[in-house]
Amino acid sequence: MPSPKARAAALMASPEDAEAQFYEALRDGDLDRVMAVWADDEEVICVHPGGTRMVGPDNVRAAFEAILANGTIVVHPEHVKRVHVMGSAVHSVLQRMAVTTDEGQRTGWILATNVYAKTAQGWRMVAHHASPGAIDEAPDLGETPSVLH
Amino acid sequence: MPSPKARAAALMASPEDAEAQFYEALRDGDLDRVMAVWADDEEVICVHPGGTRMVGPDNVRAAFEAILANGTIVVHPEHVKRVHVMGSAVHSVLQRMAVTTDEGQRTGWILATNVYAKTAQGWRMVAHHASPGAIDEAPDLGETPSVLH
């Protein structure tokens, strides 16, 4: 039977696997699993919608810990666009989120850029940049040309 | 004498070169040079602070064209943090910008994640995600631990 470490590596055999684990761990409010998706690299970068930049696993963990202290995050990745280059992958993700406002439960949108690198431990996240979209209405995704040429 | 293409490739011998050209071209308001930094790849991704996502060079170009129609952009990259993985590089950049407000000229801050890939044409940008920071006060850059461990 493989060790837990080997199983984790097998589960992150692709950027898609790593991404699925990241969002599942956020929905479960499982900080250790959120951090297991990240590369073990002092240079990893994380920007949350508030505009704060975290560098290094300790700071990234502290920020996710603060976020998850408020409970699990109802987040679903949608409309993923991918750029694959040798040894790394960039995913642009529309994060659909349940948001509680003064007017009750609404749908919020966050645009995230997730960068994954192929490491000896499988595919791992090296950067996550999330910034605010709109409430209720999904942002313009640029999937059709915005001007005629 | 090298051809213009060869000169351009030589100038983007590193992610740092590509990044310097990108911001210089924005300051010059030179759309063609902004786009010359981007990889020739239908999957390139660009998110501007307004929260709109552009996919593909045509849409990315149209968005920069609209931005530069208002004039050049007084932007200076600062506090760059880098993650280098095989064949690609992620730069987290604090963009210091001159902003005209009702109260006159102010300094605005934008946090950008720039992803570069090594291509046959040198290092090229494959993703740019920019999101709003603060006016006047630089955002928390996470360069010191936010909690004690």
Closest CB to B142 among A49, A55, A129: A55
Mutate to test the interface with B, among A90, A95, A97, A147 (most CBs of B within 10 A): A90
* Chain A hits for B118, Cβ within 8 Å: 85-86
Average pLDDT of span A36-52: 92
CB atoms B111 and A43 under 8 Å = no
Q: What residue in A sits closest to B49 (Cα-Cα)?
A: A131
pTM of the model as a whole: 0.86
Cβ contact B131–A47 (<8 Å): yes
State the Cα–Cα distance between residues A1 and A10, nearest whole angstrom. 13
Helix (H) or strand (E) holding A85: strand A75-85
User: How far is residue A39's CA from residue B91's CA, in Å, rounded to a whole number?
Assistant: 16
Least CA distance to B84: which residue of chain A? A43
- The model's pLDDT over A20-36, given as tens digits with 9 standing for 90+, comes to 999 999 999 999 999 99
ipTM: 0.84
From B14, B24, B89, select the one nearest A88 (Cα to Cα). Answer: B89
Quick one: DSSP state of residue A38? B
In this prediction, residue A98 has a pLDDT band, given cuts at 50, 70 and 90, of confident
- To the nearest whole number, what is the mean pLDDT of chain A? 85
- Asked if B86 lies within 8 A of A88 by C-beta distance, the reply is yes
